[in-house]
Amino acid sequence: MERLIYFDHNSTTPYSPSVSKYLKQDSVEDWYNPSSVYPSAQVLYQRIRESREFIANHLNCSPKHLFFTSGGTESINTILSVETLKLNQLFTCITSHLEHHATIKKIDCLSKNSNIKICWVSNNEQGEVNLDDLEATCSKHPHSLLSFLSANNETGVITDIQAVSKIARKYDCLVHVDAVQSLGKTSIDLEKLDVDFASFSGHKIGAMKGIGLLYARKLFAPLMYGGGQERGLRPGTHNYPAIQSVKLAVQDIDLNKQNYVKKLRDYLEQTLSSVSNSSTIKINCNKANRLPNTSNIYCGGISNQTIILALAKKGIYISEGSACNAGSPEPSHVITNLNVDSSSSHKDYARSCIRVSLSPSNTKEEIDSLIKSLPELVSSLSYVNTNPPVQSA
Ligand code: PLP
């Protein structure tokens, strides 16, 4: 069988080399409950401590502010809970329409089931959050929780979180950053970012699924109640192999490789733009500061579902955007909210956008396969779209 070409690394990415080796060789030995008192279990407990210290060092924060969770979704839901907001005497939450569903849906829930006020900050066509609007909103609602993505999972657009924190400090607000897509692709220095809370996910960096991190230097309320793990703030038996996998995946991060990834991404975008006319293939948000690996591409009105399936038949795996939205009849809320195209409805525009997300494992030959297939596919499907078959009676 032909080798598959995987261009969906923002959805999830294969195990990093050290994680792969650990899972194949050593993980079966690591089955003790790290909270038990006998020596074989205490070895694992000690290694959890070391993993926390190692990761804290990578993120430039204190290990006492890092908690292992089940992933980005849990970390986000923990911070955006009524209980955490009230614990910090915050009664307003300020965010954007471009957030991941883990934020958007939790915020929906807050607005329906609590007296927390929600304020939405506007964005431009490039998918950048309007910081003047953020400042104006904070000035009207001091003492709020601000929650923003450090980098968008669909467009790759980076938010200047240091600027967000600067505004927050002026108005006595706290900041939560969803940094799930930034880890492993850009450098993260939590002290420099000056945020109060941050969410991370293991499987986006080559660790196992179902493991993540919450950074919290301010109070938060536990989502669950139970044992004393994670100082009682995230109870439940430690998932040791998954925790070890995050440490190993962080150890494998090599940001130098992102220069190569950016070259591949830029080559893809420049070539696609030069071989097709601008009304067919168009790169979204390409004027914004973006992650080096992400490209969001409008495909001339052709349904993204059709394109994804046709490319999959050729062994090329891409997505429409968020994996959480896969198969949903609703188009991406992120692309819909860009308001890029006034000639068709924003939803129709979004229905024709695909996401290509790369990793250092991708090659120029793989990019060439996509460059060969995508324009061909779009023009042949446009032909079908504009020339519907004559219906026989
Ligand atoms: N935030 C962003 C930006 C994401 O891309 C994702 C995953 O798609 C999440 C949060 C949720 O993370 P997890 O899959 O670990 O729950």
Query: pLDDT of 257-290, one tens digit each?
Result: 999 999 999 999 999 999 887 678 999 999 999 9
Q: How confident is the model at residue 393 (pLDDT cuts 50, 70, 90)?
A: very low
Q: How confident is the model at residue 329 (pLDDT cuts 50, 70, 90)?
A: confident
Which of 201, 290, 319, 320 has most ligand 1 atoms within 8 Å of its beta carbon, as the pocket-test mutant? 201
* Closest alpha carbon to 5 in 320, 306, 367, 297: 367
Segment 289-298 mean pLDDT: 98
Cβ atoms of residues 80 and 107 within 8 Å:
yes
pLDDT in tens, 369-383: 999 999 999 988 876
- What per-residue confidence (pLDDT) applies to 326? 63
Ligand 1 atom at shortest distance from the alpha carbon of 209: 15
Ligand 1 atom at shortest distance from the alpha carbon of 152: 3
Q: Quick check: CB of 181 below 6 Å from ligand 1?
A: yes
- What per-residue confidence (pLDDT) applies to 151? 98
Residue 103 C-alpha to ligand 1 middle, in angstroms?
Answer: 10
* Better-scored residue on pLDDT, 367 or 388: 367
- What per-residue confidence (pLDDT) applies to 390? 46
Q: Quick check: CB of 212 below 6 Å from ligand 1?
A: yes
Given a cut of 80, whether residue 385 has pLDDT beyond it is: no
Tokens of 162: 């240091």
Q: Quick check: CB of 99 below 6 Å from ligand 1?
A: no
* Closest alpha carbon to 133 in 81, 178, 97: 97
DSSP state of 296: E
Given a cut of 50, whether residue 146 has pLDDT beyond it is: yes
- What per-residue confidence (pLDDT) applies to 386? 56
Q: Quick check: CB of 72 below 6 Å from ligand 1?
A: yes
Smallest CA separation from ligand 1 atom 12, residue: 72
Query: What is the secondary structure of 78-115 as a DSSP string?
Result: HHTSHHHHHHTT--EEEEETTS-HHHHHHHHHHHHHSS
Segment 172-196 mean pLDDT: 98
Segment 141-156 mean pLDDT: 98
Q: Quick check: CB of 178 below 6 Å from ligand 1?
A: yes
Q: Which of 116-120, 148-152, 382-386 has the lowest mean pLDDT?
A: 382-386
Q: Which of 99-103, 340-344, 363-367 has the lowest mean pLDDT?
A: 340-344
pLDDT in tens, 86-126: 999 999 999 999 999 999 999 999 999 999 999 999 999 99
* Closest alpha carbon to 93 in 136, 149, 147: 147
pLDDT in tens, 215-250: 999 999 999 999 999 999 999 999 999 999 999 999
Q: How confident is the model at residue 391 (pLDDT cuts 50, 70, 90)?
A: very low
